[in-house]
Amino acid sequence: MILQQNVDERAKFLLAEGERIIDEATKRGLHLRLLGAISILRHCPEFKSIAMKHREAMKDVDFACYSKESNKVTTLMRDLGYADEPMVTALFGDRRTIWDNKSNGIHVDIFFDMLEMNHTIPFQGRLDIEPVTISLADMLLEKMQIVQINERDIVDTVMLLREHDVGNSTPETIDAKYIAKILGNEWGFYYTFTTNLKNVQSRLPTYGGLTEVDRTIVRERIDRLQKIIEDQPKTMSWKLRARVGSKSKWYRDVEEVNR
C-alpha cells in the first residue's frame, strides 16, 4: 500500500508541475502540451487505477511544442528554474531539448514538431486540439509506435481505450480516422500499430481490476478501430512496401534518433 501511495503521489506531483509549466507557457502564447504517461493519466480519471497498479514511480515530464517557439520555450524553462543540457541542445535543439530542475528533481523532455522514436508522430497543426495535452489520437499513436512494447505501455493503452470511445474527432473521443490516415501513408507504422493492438487484445484477460464488461468494451473499440484502419485507402508507397513486409526492417531504432 505504501509503495502504491508513493506511485500515486509522484504522478500527482509530476502532473501538477506539468500543469504549472503549461499555465505559464499559455500566458506567453506558447503551444506546450503534455505527452506520455502523464497526459494519459490526466485524461483517464475514472480508470487510471488500471494503469497505476502496473507501474513504478514515474520520473519525468514530456512535452510537445512547435519549433518556431523554441527560443521562447528556452526562456520560459530558465525562468521556471530549469537548466538545459548544453550538449543535447547543441546537437538536437531544433527537435528536442532536455531540462532538469535541481530544486524539485524533475526531468523534462521537450519535442519540437514531432515525436521521433520507432516511428514518427507529427505535431504540426495539432497542438490546438487540447489545451494541456496532445490529442487522444496522438496519445494512442505514441503508445502503439513502440516496436518493443512493454507491459506498462500495454496497460496504458488499455486504460485509454476503456476511458475513451473510438470514433470521430470530438475532444474526448479517439479520432480513428486521423489514426487511419497516418497509418495509410506508411506501411511500417501500420504494421507496428496493428501488431501492438493484437498484443493488447491478447493481454486483456490477464489484467486484474478489469471486469468482463471492461474487457468487452475495450475489445469492441479495438475491433472498430482496426476496421477503420483497414478501410482507409492506402498510398502507392504503402502498397509497395507491404509487398516486402517484415522481412526487411520497417522501423527506426531509438538509438538512431538519439545519435
Residue entry with cell 484477460: 205
Instruction: Give the pLDDT of residue 6.
Output: 74
Instruction: Give the pLDDT of residue 124.
Output: 96
Residue ranges of the chain with per-residue pLDDT less than 70:
1-5, 53-57, 93, 256-259
Question: Is 108:98 a contact under the CB 8 Å cutoff?
Answer: yes
For 117-157, how does the pLDDT look when each residue is reduced to its tens digit (9 = 90+)?
A: 999 999 999 999 999 999 999 999 999 999 999 999 999 99
How many residues are listed for the chain in this entry? 259
pTM of the model: 0.93
Q: How many domains does the chain have?
A: 1
Instruction: Give the pLDDT of residue 57.
Output: 63
Domain that holds residue 41: 2-258
